[in-house]
Amino acid sequence: MRSTIQDVMTRGVVVAHPSTPFKQIARLLADHRIAALPVVDHDGRLVGIVSESDLTRQLTADLLDAGATAADIMTTPPATIDPTAGLAEAARLLQDRKLRRLLVVDRSGALAGIVTRTDLLRVFLRPDEFIRYELIDKVAAHLPALLPGSVTIDVVDGRVILGGEAAAAEAALLRELACTIDGVVEVEDRLRIGEPGEVTLTVGQD
């Protein structure tokens, strides 16, 4: 099963409250080396976000006063995503809205975490051998009739290479299973189509 947002997001996020003063926001950003702070109410529900650009916008516009708080300068509503959403959905949102991060909010409106472009890309750093063995396990679970002998599975730089011989239905399922593995960037199908019932599996050399 492919990862969801809750698998890759950062938890325990540093936050501000609507009443947090401008200077304290700047200090939190600097101390934690982050570029934005979610703003939550006292029940933990997300109400906005304050970024470095929000702070600098106030400075360049000469709008800052001694009493400025997060409520005065935050962006609302912030871009959010559900913890159970897929990584592809998050990537599309980030791309379409030209954002660097999404705030993760549960069904109650409470802040659950934050996900960045870097978090999404991290799944593609999985070692090839991890991808390969996960796919082998899935094949064993979904195609138990396959026996060692005529299908090979190799992974090179995230590219799954399927070789050997398989019946059409099994070949289609093999391709589908490969596409469900985190870290797979491409599936190269070199399978020859054989008759049903003739399909066997070999996992290649260890």
Residues forming a β-bridge with 40: 46
Phi, psi of 16 (to 5 degrees): -120, 165
Assess if residue 143 is contained within a domain: yes
* Domain end residue (candidates: 123, 143, 161): 123
Instruction: From 141, 142, 139, select the one nearest 201 (Cα to Cα).
Output: 139
13, 113 Cβ separation under 8 angstroms:
yes
pLDDT at 78: 92
Q: Are residues 57 and 37 in contact, defined by beta-carbon separation less than 8 angstroms?
A: no
* Structural domain containing residue 140: 126-194
Residues 112 and 12 in one domain: yes
Average pLDDT, the chain: 86
Do 101 and 179 lie in one domain? The reply is no
Both 89 and 148 in one domain: the answer is no
CATH code, domain carrying 172:
3.30.1340.30
Are both 136 and 190 inside the same structural domain?
yes
Q: Which pLDDT value is given to residue 151?
A: 83
Pairing of strands 111-116, 101-105: antiparallel
Domain count, the chain: 2
Q: Which residue, 94, 123, 152, sits at the end of a domain?
A: 123
CATH classification at residue 52: 3.10.580.10
Which burial class, exposed, middle or buried, applies to 200 when counting CB atoms under 10 A from its CB (0-12, 13-18, 19+)?
middle
Q: Do 50 and 105 reside in the same domain of the chain?
A: yes
Please indicate, yes or no, whether residues 135 and 78 belong to a single structural domain of this protein: no
Residues 71 and 105 in one domain: yes
What tokens were used for 38?
């979610």
Same structural domain for residues 109 and 179? Answer: no
Whether residue 141 sits in one domain with residue 106: no
What is the H or E stretch that residue 26 is in? Answer: helix 22-32
Task: Say what the pLDDT of residue 68 is.
Answer: 85
DSSP state, residue 200: B
Q: Is residue 39 over pLDDT 80? A: yes
What's the pLDDT tens digit per position in 84-97?
998 888 988 998 89
Asked if the structure places residue 200 within a domain, the reply is no
Q: Which of 114, 100, 102, 121 is nearest to 182 (CA)?
A: 121
Answer yes or no: do 139 and 153 share one domain. Answer: yes
Residues 110 and 51 in one domain: yes
Cβ-Cβ contacts under 8 Å for 107 (sequence gap 6 or more) = 82
Q: What is the pLDDT of residues 129-149, one digit of tens each?
A: 999 999 988 888 887 765 556
* Final residue before a domain boundary, out of 66, 93, 123: 123
Judge contact between 155 and 133, C-beta under 8 A. no
Q: Which of 156, 157, 150, 158 is nearest to 191 (CA)?
A: 150
Same domain membership, residue 140 and residue 77:
no
Q: What is the pLDDT of residues 98-131, one digit of tens each?
A: 998 999 999 999 999 999 988 888 888 889 999 9
Other beta carbons within 10 Å of 193: 13
